[in-house]
Amino acid sequence: MTNKLRALLAAGTIAGTSLITGFAQAADTIKVGVLHSLSGTMAISETTLKDAMMMMIEDQNAKGGLLGKKLEAVVVDPASNWPLFAEKARELISKDKVDVVFGCWTSVSRKSVLPVFEELNSLLFYPVQYEGEESSRNVFYTGAAPNQQAIPAVDYLMSEEGGEAKRWVLLGTDYVYPRTTNKILRAYLKAKGVAEADIMENYTPFGHSDWQTIVSDVKKFASAGKKTAVVSTINGDANVPFYKELANQGVKAEDIPVVAFSVGEEELAGLDTGPLVGHLAAWNYFMSVDTPENDAFIAQWKAFIKDDKRVTNDPMEAHYIGFKMWAQAVEQAGTTDVDAVRQAMYGQEVKNLTGGVAVMNTNHHLSKPVMVGEIQPDGQLETVWETEGVVKGDAWSDYIPESAKLTADWTYPWVCGNCEKPKFAVMAE
């Protein structure tokens, strides 16, 4: 009996000490935390980003690292579990002492880790298009804000070239990104003179797989005599069954174009895109864009992942830009100290893979080009329209009254992510 007890106590002690000893580690490398789900529902999207990060870190090391030190990736698996994201973020920062973290995909995972990054003053690079309405001092948003994706796409569909849509279906998964985007779009469409009756909004749960009713509803809504377009903010898993239903019910892009903000090359890889040709997606990057930088990146990716069929997508480019900017900022600051790097980030420039130059703004959002592409039979998206020059990411949408008045600017005299007047206004005067 006492033996067993002793054994149990011993086991407990070992477990306890192994936890504690984990904290003491030497810092002769620069540590980069990678916080992407490798299991669970989001693994399907996030694993690619983890691989992309590994590739870029390897590449940087081959070039000699940073500040004479090697980079070391610290990969953890938050398992698509939002509270676990917060726990893992804390572990990366407190225990592994990483200098920067690249990670998250869903808005809720970002919201979950946000307090941790702010409390421990670390840096997160968030690579996915999102709903805006946020600007944290500790996060750099390298994905698109709504004004860099949704609004240009709608502009295109309203244009003569895009088919002069007059009636709109806003389809989305019921969570904050679609809700916000659709709220902004609704306000925008109204400003453009679209009547309330010409907008249909519909929300479905995550992983919704039976789209028969909704697709027939869309067809019905579209048969009211005005050119109808669908704006889809359907998330992740639900897209494949949605597009399969569209294809089977014969919804042709010439009749009812569907423009999506969450469907990229990676999602299309799981689909037979033959019947979907002409449906649209709006992003800041397409794999099909023909530039030397992009060709090199794609070649590097295919070699790294050892699979000739793998595709690249927009969030990967966002990580690419984010990582390059961070590396430049570290070189410039001469340290990985968070405050120094943050200062050095502002105005940092990196060449986009699709041409032009991305710039980090003081609201922690990028200026990037916006493109609208059409789905091709080979699963690629080809640009049919793009903005002239870059669009500056807007943390606070101009179309939502309560956020239109807010400003995000992390430099003096504002030093604020959501203010109506500068924090240091008095001193500034």
Residues 281-300 that bind another protein (CB under 8 A): none
Q: Going by C-beta distance under 8 Å and a sequence separation of 6 or more, which residues neighbour residue 55?
A: 300, 301, 304, 305
Respond yes or no on whether the N-terminal peptide bond of residue 413 is cis (omega within 30° of 0): yes
Taking the least distance from each CB to another protein, the nearer of 87 and 155 is 87
What is the nearest approach in angstroms of another protein to the Cβ of residue 82? 6
DSSP E strands: which ranges in 178-317? 199-204, 228-233, 258-260, 280-283
DSSP E strand stretches across 262-380 = 280-283, 349-351, 357-360, 366-368, 371-375
- Which of 24, 26, 191, 197 binds another protein (CB under 8 A)? It is 24
Which residues fall within 8 angstroms of residue 270, CB to CB, at 6 or more apart?
240
Q: Which of 67, 200, 214, 298 binds another protein (CB under 8 A)?
A: 214
- Report the site for another protein in 249-268 (rule: CB under 8 A): 249-250, 253-255, 257, 266-267
User: Could you tell me which residues come within 8 angstroms of residue 429 by beta carbon, excluding any fewer than 6 positions away?
Assistant: none
Q: Tell me the CA distances in angstroms from 427 to 410, 412, 417, 423, one per residue in order.
A: 16, 10, 18, 9
Among 191, 275, 258, smallest CA distance to 222 is for: 258
If the CB atoms of residues 172 and 393 are measured against another protein, the closer one turns out to be 172
For another protein, which is the closer residue by CB, 64 or 209? 209
If one asks whether residue 207 binds another protein (CB under 8 A), the answer comes out as yes
From 54-62, 188-196, 223-231, 296-304, span contacting another protein (CB under 8 A)? 223-231
Side by side, which strands form the sheet with 100-103? Answer: 71-76, 30-35, 100-103, 124-126, 139-141
Q: In the range 86-115, which residues lie near another protein by CB under 8 A?
A: 86-88, 90-91, 94-96, 106-108, 111-112, 114-115
What φ, ψ does residue 175 adopt, rounded to 5°?
-155, -175
Is residue 427 involved in binding another protein (CB under 8 A)?
no
Which lies closer to another protein via its Cβ, residue 67 or residue 356?
Answer: 356
Distances in Å between the alpha carbon of 375 and those of 93, 209, 232, 269? Answer: 41, 21, 14, 11
Residues of this chain, 360-399, that bind another protein according to CB under 8 A: 374, 376-377, 379, 382-385
Among 14, 70, 195, 270, binds another protein (CB under 8 A): 270
Nearer of residues 280 and 358 to another protein, judged by Cβ: 280
Q: Does 148 bind another protein (CB under 8 A)?
A: no
Which residue from 30, 55, 56, 77 is in contact with another protein, where contact means CB under 8 A? 77
Exactly one of 97, 226, 324, 392 binds another protein (CB under 8 A); that residue is 226
Query: Quick check: helix, strand or coil at residue 326?
Result: helix
Which positions from 229 to 248 touch another protein by CB under 8 A, shown as an x/- string?
--------x--xx--xx-xx
